[in-house]
């Protein structure tokens, strides 16, 4: 039977403080076989590592999110070297570019993104990329550095998805696909093979319908997988089997 692998979550988030262990304790009986908890700075990366130590099925990604750059944070290579030596650290992430709120720190974000792409390459680790309203620059830097990895919560066009897949990367799909107004990602899913899709929550954010607006959790991926099965006209089970295989392959799990 197919099981859910959540390739992108933030259980370190304060919104889980009251219910973190309760929720994570329910995951395995709710058909979740794996979760990658992504850091957004050094502290949350350390938290991700502590969750990976506590739960067999949790893995950690470590890195600096573009928004963490806005307060002047710099890449600390010594610290990052320590983090990637920990068990169950499977990726550098989440890293990338975010021009949604403002572009004041664009240059700093690009510099931090490139530092981390180089760091990931030097240590043969895949990357988890965040791209919000920064498609052109993200694509350009992917072409330049040729990482192994995933574009999480993909929001680009079909053309961009095809290019990304052509470069050997994966497309991360989460709750947005279940939203009524989401046409773009539906078209993307139609056009790219299931072999290139990873499932994700981005919990606590982006809960799928019928839980939109609520606290997201990895077992809700069921609704994302069902929507993908419907779009691609394949079995729900097949969606779970294939996407879990994809995730394990990319992150060497």
Interface residues with Ni ion (CB under 5 A) are 202
Closest separation between CB of residue 234 and Ni ion, Å? 27
CB of 10 to Ni ion, least distance (A): 6
Q: Could you tell me the smallest distance in angstroms from the CB atom of residue 127 to Ni ion?
A: 13
Closer to Ni ion at the Cβ: 2 or 93? 93
Closest approach of Cβ 65 to Ni ion, in Å?
7
- Torsion angle defined by CA atoms of residues 94, 81, 109 and 203, in that order, rounded to the nearest 10 degrees: 20
Closest to Ni ion by CB, 12 vs 202, is 202
Sign of CA dihedral 10, 203, 240, 150: negative
> Minimum distance between the CB of residue 29 and Ni ion, rounded to whole angstroms?
25
Residue 110 or 150: which CB sits closer to Ni ion? 150
State the DSSP H helix or E strand holding residue 58, giving kind and residue range, or none if neither: strand 58-62
Instruction: Select the residue whose beta carbon is closest to Ni ion and give its number.
Output: 202
Nearer to Ni ion, 93 or 147 (CB): 93
Cβ proximity to Ni ion: between 65 and 88 the closer is 65
121 HSE (CA, 13 A, CB side): 11
Phi, psi of 157 (to 5 degrees): -85, 170
Residue 129 Cβ, how far from Ni ion at the closest point, in Å? 10
Smaller CB distance to Ni ion: residue 101 or 193? 101
Closest CA to 203 of 216, 190, 185, 186: 216
Inter-residue contact 208 to 224 (CB < 8 Å): yes
Distance linking the first and last C-alpha atoms of the chain: 19
184-191 vs 158-166: helix crossing angle, rounded to 10: 40
Q: Which of 67, 115, 62, 58 shows the shortest CA–CA distance to 92? A: 62
Specify the residue, 216 or 243, whose C-beta has the smaller distance to Ni ion: 216
Q: How far is CA 124 from CA 9, 85, 92, 149, 251, in A?
A: 22, 13, 10, 11, 11
Shortest CB 1 distance to Ni ion, Å: 28
- Crossing angle of helices 221-232 and 184-191, in 10° steps, is 60
């Amino acid at each position: 039977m197919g099981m859910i692998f959540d390739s992108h979550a933030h259980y370190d988030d304060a919104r889980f403080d009251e219910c973190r262990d309760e929720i994570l304790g329910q995951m395995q009986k709710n058909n979740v076989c794996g979760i990658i908890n992504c850091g957004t700075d050094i502290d949350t990366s350390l938290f991700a590592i502590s969750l990976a130590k506590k739960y067999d099925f949790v893995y950690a990604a470590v890195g600096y999110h573009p928004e963490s750059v806005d307060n002047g944070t710099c890449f600390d290579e010594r610290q990052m070297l320590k983090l990637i030596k920990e068990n169950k650290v499977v990726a550098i992430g989440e890293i990338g570019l975010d021009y949604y709120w403002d572009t004041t720190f664009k240059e700093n974000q690009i510099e931090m993104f490139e530092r981390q792409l180089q760091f990931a390459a030097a240590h043969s680790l895949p990357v988890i990329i965040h791209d919000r309203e920064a498609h052109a620059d993200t694509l350009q830097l992917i072409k330049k550095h040729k990482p192994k990895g995933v574009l999480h919560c993909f929001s680009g066009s079909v053309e961009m998805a095809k290019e990304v897949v052509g470069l050997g990367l994966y497309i991360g799909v989460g709750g947005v696909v279940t939203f009524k107004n989401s046409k773009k990602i539906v078209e993307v899913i139609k056009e790219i093979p299931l072999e290139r899709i990873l499932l994700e929550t981005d919990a606590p954010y982006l809960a799928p319908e019928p839980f939109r607006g609520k606290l997201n959790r990895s077992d809700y991926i069921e609704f994302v997988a069902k929507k993908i099965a419907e779009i691609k006209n394949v079995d729900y089970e097949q969606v779970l089997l294939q996407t879990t295989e994809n995730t394990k392959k990319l992150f060497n799990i």
